[in-house]
Amino acid sequence: MDNDIERVLYSREEILQAAARLGKQLTTDFKDKKPIVISVLKGAILFTVDVIKEMDVYAELDFIDISSYHGGTESSGQIDLLHDLGTDIDGRNILIIEDIIDTGRTLKYLIDLLKQRNAAEIKVCTLLDKEEGRAVDVKADYIGFSVPNEFVVGYGLDYKELYRNLPYVGVLKPEVYTS
């Protein structure tokens, strides 16, 4: 897989450091709030595992699978709910964990859904924030790294379902998705 990567953006060590930094802040901010941590499948799973171990608070964990990409490198704008939560979130404090926020459409969809279901508070933690890609007005409260407007893979992020298990975040060589 390393041969398909043009350059490494964030190493495993840097990501673990970011998770520790954010986890410390989250520990303070979610003290006594008993949040439900909602990890957005599949991309956020690796980062979620790192962050929650750094959060010293009582917290529940749930998963939701929302897809907006359909295999390419551009957002399709169409959002599908592939797997719903198993928890009643009425009146609960929520921490969403995402892999990357690009156009923001996926996050907006999720926030609207949680609001409809009466969540008390919704905060967002993302490994990567691609601010330049934003098409709708949403923002993360906790950010690992701000990334340039390039297609990145690894540490949960995929291209056609591959590279999620790469232990770092990197930029794919253009020939991988043009060929």
Catalytic (active site) residue 102 = yes
101 contacts which partner out of Mg ion, ligand IMP, none, CB within 5 to 8 A by kind?
A: ligand IMP
Q: Does an H or E element contain 179, and which?
A: none
3-state helix, strand, coil in the chain (%, to 5): 30, 30, 40
155 contacts which partner out of ligand IMP, Mg ion, none, CB within 5 to 8 A by kind?
A: none
Question: What is the nearest approach in angstroms of ligand IMP to the Cβ of residue 40?
Answer: 6
**Residue 4 gets which letter from DSSP?**
G
Q: Determine the Cα–Cα distance for residues 69 and 67; give it in Å rounded to an integer.
A: 6
Nearer to ligand IMP, 90 or 179 (CB): 179
Catalytic entry in 102, 112, 137, 141: 102
Nearer to Mg ion, 43 or 154 (CB): 43
**What residues line the site for ligand IMP (CB under 6 A)?**
43, 68-69, 75, 98-107, 130, 151-153, 157
Give the Cβ contact number of residue 118 at 10 Å.
Answer: 11
Residues 41-100 touching Mg ion, rule: CB under 5 A, are 43
Give the Cβ contact number of residue 41 at 10 Å.
Answer: 17
Q: Which residues are catalytic?
A: 102
